[in-house]
């Protein structure tokens, strides 16, 4: 038995962290919406939904392996109410970096326990985190580049509005 109680507890923490990430994105969407940046708000809400998909992937993994999947206490997003667009994506990037480190920690713990069965899932997440950080970082960089140029911010906002809606179900 490599899927130990200790590993299950660590997976449960990751489930909670993914749901926390969803709440952070939802709060950041509110900050964007308050500034009439509806495209940005929509993008952030889609991202919030994607975090639920991530939580579901971890939940499925725990349940499929006979573990007791448990959602822990979810911390309040702790996002300031008045953030500039750059600060919104800066906060998102910092949270993604926190999630990436948590997944790397989980990977190390599974490796140390000889739990090979978690590898495919964790490999998927390692790749996904590279993509998430790159995407959020790119938007942040573009917003920084346009600075106070309102028409530049609105162009980025219009592009972000084009992100297609996703299901919150784990389809993998």
**Residue closer to ligand FEO, measured from CB, 98 or 119:** 98
In whole angstroms, what is the distance from residue 40 CA to residue 52 CA? 19
Does position 54 bind ligand FEO by CB under 6 A?
yes
**Residue closer to ligand FEO, measured from CB, 14 or 31:** 14
**Residue closer to ligand FEO, measured from CB, 46 or 159:** 46
CB atoms within 10 A of CB 128: 16
Nearest-approach distance from CB 114 to ligand FEO, in angstroms: 26
Six token digits for residue 22: 């969803």
Does position 51 bind ligand FEO by CB under 6 A?
yes
Six token digits for residue 72: 């822990």
Interacting residues with ligand FEO between 89 and 128 (CB under 6 A): 96, 99
Packing angle of the helix pair 38-64, 119-146 (nearest 10 deg): 170
Q: Exactly one of 21, 91, 106, 156 binds ligand FEO (CB under 6 A); which one?
A: 21
Nearest-approach distance from CB 148 to ligand FEO, in angstroms: 29
In whole angstroms, what is the distance from residue 12 CA to residue 10 CA? 5
How many angstroms separate the Cα of 3 from the Cα of each of 9, 60, 99, 109, 116? Answer: 10, 14, 21, 11, 9
Nearest-approach distance from CB 36 to ligand FEO, in angstroms: 25
**Residue closer to ligand FEO, measured from CB, 16 or 86:** 16
Residue number closest to ligand FEO, CB atom: 54
**Residue closer to ligand FEO, measured from CB, 3 or 25:** 25
Q: Exactly one of 7, 15, 18, 122 binds ligand FEO (CB under 6 A); which one?
A: 18
SS (H, E, C) 81-142: CCCCHHHHHHHHHHHHHHHHHHHHHHHHHHHHCCCHHHHHHHHHHHHHHHHHHHHHHHHHHH
Binding site for ligand FEO (CB under 6 A): 18, 21, 51, 54, 96, 99, 132
């Amino acid at each position: 038995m490599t899927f130990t109680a200790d590993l299950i507890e660590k997976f449960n923490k990751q489930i909670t962290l993914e749901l926390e990430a969803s709440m952070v994105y939802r709060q950041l969407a509110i900050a964007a919406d308050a500034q009439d940046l509806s495209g940005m708000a929509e993008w952030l809400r889609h991202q919030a939904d994607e975090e639920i998909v991530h939580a579901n992937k971890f939940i499925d993994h725990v349940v499929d392996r006979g573990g007791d999947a448990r959602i822990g206490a979810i911390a309040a997003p702790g996002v300031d109410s008045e953030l500039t667009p750059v600060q919104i994506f800066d906060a998102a990037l910092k949270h993604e970096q926190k999630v990436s480190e948590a997944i790397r920690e989980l990977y190390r713990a599974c490796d140390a326990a000889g739990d090979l069965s978690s590898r495919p899932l964790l490999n998927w997440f390692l790749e996904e985190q590279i993509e998430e950080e790159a995407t959020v970082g790119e938007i942040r960089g573009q917003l920084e580049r346009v600075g106070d140029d309102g028409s530049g911010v609105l162009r980025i906002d219009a592009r972000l509005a084009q992100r297609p809606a996703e299901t919150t179900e784990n389809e993998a």
